Amino acid sequence: MKPLMEIKNLTTRFHTQDGTVNAVNGISYSLDQGEILGVVGESGCGKSVHALSIMRLIQIPPGEIAAGEVIFDDRDLLKLSDKDMRSVRGHEIAMVFQDPMSSLNPVYTVGFQISEALILHKNMNKRQAKERTIELLNLVGIPEARKRFDNFPHQFSGGMRQRAMIAMALSCEPKLLIADEPTTALDVTIQAQIINLVIKLQQELGMSVMWITHDLGIVAEMVHRINVMYAGSIIERGFVDDIYNHTLHPYTMGLLGSLPSIDEAPGTKLISIPGLPPDLVDLPSGCPFFARCTYREERCAKEQPVLENGLEEGHSVACWRWREIQKMGVS
């Protein structure tokens, strides 16, 4: 089956006063129809920037998509005219953002803001758009949707706003939904509701979802595949079970080790990864994880490892020593 989206060598930089920030450094992967992909990594690893690059929402300047292709439905999004790109945004690819408190325009009603996309992409008139919006608000579980249509964002709670954002994103039945840390700003109970909502809607509508998060625990139960990103590169990629059961990259091991587990004996210390990610203005020439890696050797400082096939089909890792590390029996 042909993938829905294929990204090749995507490279995004920001030209700032302190130098060029290498935010995304030549990443390549594909996303299947109906797949839920988790993109995981700590803050500043380029996961959000790579999503905004796909949408071409990077502010240029200072940003620049320096190289790469984003093949979506047989077209390279990076080569589309502005007008054609606008008909992709919100229509074929929709996005939900991190902070629902600030992502809705405070001076327009929630209903209006959802209808806007319908009027724009689906050629609906105001009345049709209103009816559809009310359906959507019902779909995402907002009670008394008809009344709520005329509410302003400040009359919604955080969780309701994020539901409204999801309704907005789903309004035009996109082929791909990009969710950029949509639950980070919410309470844990609301987090679970939102995750379940997205899974349910994904199954009903059959769209693909890209779920960006720094929390490996959240994605484990919902995604099919995971891209682990570090310093603007994908350093491990694979199906969720393989990643959890046969972790190959020391960074991913660190991420998993830092999660508390309910099975652990009380008093077990969480493992943290020492040090900080490298400065994106001045990336090391070798492996970006070199400075923090406990398995590093001479070669790692000089040559940057590229993604290569690991143990299972579709599981790949960018590490020179992954075989040796596996033999050591750590995981």
**Residues 8, 75, 91, 296: which binds other proteins (CB under 8 A)?**
91
Residues 23, 68: contact at Cβ < 8 Å? no
As measured in angstroms, the least distance from the Cβ of 104 to other proteins is 6
**Residues 17, 127, 154, 262: which binds other proteins (CB under 8 A)?**
154
In the numeric block, the tokens 């991190």 are attached to 98
As measured in angstroms, the least distance from the Cβ of 189 to other proteins is 24
**Residues 97, 149, 230, 322: which binds other proteins (CB under 8 A)?**
97
Q: Does 6 contact other proteins by CB under 8 A?
A: no
Percentages helix, strand, coil for the chain, rounded to the nearest 5?
35, 25, 45
As measured in angstroms, the least distance from the Cβ of 214 to other proteins is 18
Q: Does 105 contact other proteins by CB under 8 A?
A: yes
As measured in angstroms, the least distance from the Cβ of 61 to other proteins is 8
Residues 180, 212: contact at Cβ < 8 Å? yes
Question: Which tokens sit at 203?
Answer: 């199954």
**Residues 43, 81, 106, 313: which binds other proteins (CB under 8 A)?**
106
| Torsion (CA) 217, 219, 222, 225 in degrees, nearest 10 | -130
Q: Does 88 contact other proteins by CB under 8 A?
A: yes
Interacting residues with other proteins between 156 and 215 (CB under 8 A)? 165, 168
**DSSP symbols for 245-265:** HS--SHHHHHHHHTS--TTSP
Backbone angles phi, psi at 218, to 5 degrees: -65, -45
Which element (helix H / strand E) includes 113?
helix 110-121
Stretch that binds other proteins, among 30-38, 89-97, 206-214, 264-272 (CB under 8 A): 89-97
**23/300 with CB nearer other proteins:** 23
Length reported for the chain: 331
Question: Which tokens sit at 150?
Answer: 């005329």
Contact footprint for other proteins (CB under 8 A): 55, 57, 86-91, 94-95, 97, 99, 102-108, 113, 116-117, 120-121, 152, 154, 165, 168
